[in-house]
Amino acid sequence: MFVGYTGMKRKSFLTAAAIMAVAGSRANIRGGFSAIPADTDDEQYWSALRASLFPIESGRIFLNNGTMGITPYPVLSALQNGFENAAIKGAYPGHTDDLQKSIAELTGCDFEEIAITKNVSEGINHACWGIPMNKGDEVIMTTHEHAGGCIAWLHRANVDGIVIKTFQLGKTADETLANLEKAITKKTRVIAVPHIPCTIGQILPIKEICALARSRNIITAIDGAHPLGMIRFNLHDINCDYYSGCLHKWALGPLGMGFFYVRKDMLAKTRCTHVAAYSSNEFNMATTPPTGGKLVDTAHRFYYGTFCGPMYEAAIEALKLYKKIGPERIETRVRSLAAYLQESLMALGDKIIMLTPTEAKSRGAQVAFRINNGNPKASSELVTGLYSKKITLRYVGENNVDCVRVSTHYYNSREEIDTLVAEVKKALG
């Protein structure tokens, strides 16, 4: 499987293959470590996964998984092998439903409701420009949007005269839902919010939000950049109309891979603004006048033309690995690390302003905080300074949030968190 990828050590390839098979074959992982332990917080197991699967440089503490995950060896190998196969055999990639089916299985929907995209922003544009709206129609969003989540809506406001309204997130799920409900008016047409905002990592009560919207005949378009690979969720249970997700963050797929979900009964109601090959199965330019068939009756109408087969293959490998290790196991791990981090930071005293809710159901695997030591640039300077020490974080300056965001994945450790907290303590002065 790994032959021919000269950029990786053969031993790393072999151990990466072994870890993928560990649940079924109890194959050894470096140094004789075998079998998935019953304790999901077993540090030896997670340490072995990191050593076997991830090429990240020694000594690097990577806590910016909310921007991108570290790509595992099996995913890198699938990517390389795919490009080599195309070049060696002249093999043009053919369309299959394998990736859509894998995403659908993990997100609780039908694969015909899934389109593959380059990123979350592309999916959000499909929803934004696909929903029929009139001048004056209102779209409700949060004050914690990512650029990719809000710029399409802001642009449509400039072009078509729709109105963008915002509401504040609460400290609890109930408070957030109440704040949103207060923002609804008779003109509200769409609620377009993140499942987990990129700024402070708060899990919104998205099922309750969608239920509220449906009771008022309001369309829901959800920015789902972060959940897949972090927490388990079911799109049919959430009952949203649109959901735009990502594969290169917590799911550890190759950079530039996402998905767009459109609920089956919304497909015919959604304008498709960009189409090409595979959006329709019929056309004939030799007739007078030229004729084109109807768009396909699945979400496949939203992705079209030549695609990068190796990227699809690598994304499939990433989701196989996610399922092999176990979504529940991974969610427990990443959320427990975040809880440990949050508790450790709050123990430092009132110079830490905690922005991520402490309510368990509202906290995922990201923790955001602000340093309050009299220096208005303290938070941004901490992130810059720690990068030089091989600790990678994310400074959130957009929307005047001004905070440090820490994202914990399963290959991180409590020891790394302790190192970070010690550095934060120094910065407090």
At 304 the pLDDT is 86
Q: Flag whether pLDDT at 403 surpasses 70.
A: yes
At 18 the pLDDT is 44
At 19 the pLDDT is 45
DSSP per-residue string spanning 311-329: HHHHHHHHHHHHHHH-HHH
How many Å separate Cα 376 from the centre of its chain? 30
Domain boundaries, the chain: 10-46, 98-320, 328-428
At 275 the pLDDT is 87
Q: Flag whether pLDDT at 24 surpasses 70.
A: no
Same fold? 98-320, 328-428 = no
Matching residue, tokens 């019953």: 38
Q: How does pLDDT run across 174-207, given as a tens digit for each residue?
A: 999 999 999 999 999 999 999 999 999 999 999 9
Neighbours of 20 (CB within 10 A): 21
Q: Which of 79, 68, 65 is nearest to 4 (CA)?
A: 79
Of the listed ranges 44-53, 67-76, 98-107, the one predicted with least confidence:
44-53
| C-alpha pair distances (Å), 31 with each of 64, 136, 410 | 29, 65, 20
Instruction: State how beta strands 61-62 and 138-142 pair.
Output: unpaired
Residue range 82-90: mean pLDDT, rounded: 93
Local confidence band at 17 (pLDDT 50, 70, 90 cut-offs) = very low
Residue range 267-293: mean pLDDT, rounded: 91
Domain 98-320 fold is: Aspartate Aminotransferase; domain 2 (3.40.640)
Residue range 29-36: mean pLDDT, rounded: 36
Q: How far apart are alpha carbons 54 and 361 in whole angstroms?
A: 29
Residue 419 burial by Cβ neighbours in a 10 Å radius (0-12, 13-18, 19+)? middle
User: In b/e form, how buried is each residue of 250-278, taking b as 16+ CB within 10 angstroms?
Assistant: bbbbbeebbbbbbbeebbeebebeebeeb
Q: Flag whether pLDDT at 32 surpasses 70.
A: no
Q: How does pLDDT run across 99-128, given as a tens digit for each residue?
A: 999 999 999 999 999 999 999 999 999 999
At 384 the pLDDT is 97
Residue range 236-241: mean pLDDT, rounded: 98
Q: Enter the tokens of residue 114.
A: 């899934």
At 40 the pLDDT is 54
Calculate what percentage of the chain has a pLDDT beyond 70. 90
Local confidence band at 280 (pLDDT 50, 70, 90 cut-offs) = confident
pTM of the full predicted structure?
A: 0.90
Q: Flag whether pLDDT at 288 surpasses 60.
A: yes
Q: How far apart are alpha carbons 410 and 390 in whole angstroms?
A: 18
| C-alpha pair distances (Å), 346 with each of 32, 108, 343, 411 | 39, 36, 5, 23
Q: Flag whether pLDDT at 29 surpasses 70.
A: no
Domain 328-428 fold is: Aspartate Aminotransferase, domain 1 (3.90.1150)
Residue range 141-150: mean pLDDT, rounded: 95
Q: Which of 84, 71, 86 is nearest to 1 (CA)?
A: 84
61, 415 in Cβ contact below 8 A?
no
Residue range 235-257: mean pLDDT, rounded: 98
| C-alpha pair distances (Å), 256 with each of 67, 98, 224, 423 | 12, 18, 15, 33
At 38 the pLDDT is 53
Residue range 6-29: mean pLDDT, rounded: 39
The total number of residues shown for the chain amounts to 429
At 112 the pLDDT is 97
Local confidence band at 91 (pLDDT 50, 70, 90 cut-offs) = confident
Q: Flag whether pLDDT at 9 surpasses 70.
A: no
Instruction: State how beta strands 138-142 and 188-194 pair.
Output: parallel
Average pLDDT, the chain: 90
Q: How far apart are alpha carbons 217 and 235 in whole angstroms?
A: 18
Instruction: Give 211's Cβ-side CA count (13 Å radius).
Output: 7
At 4 the pLDDT is 30
Q: Flag whether pLDDT at 27 surpasses 70.
A: no
Instruction: Give 154's Cβ-side CA count (13 Å radius).
Output: 10
Local confidence band at 22 (pLDDT 50, 70, 90 cut-offs) = very low
Residue range 295-310: mean pLDDT, rounded: 91
Q: Which of 418, 393, 337 is nearest to 64 (CA)?
A: 393
Q: Enter the tokens of residue 165.
A: 């309204």
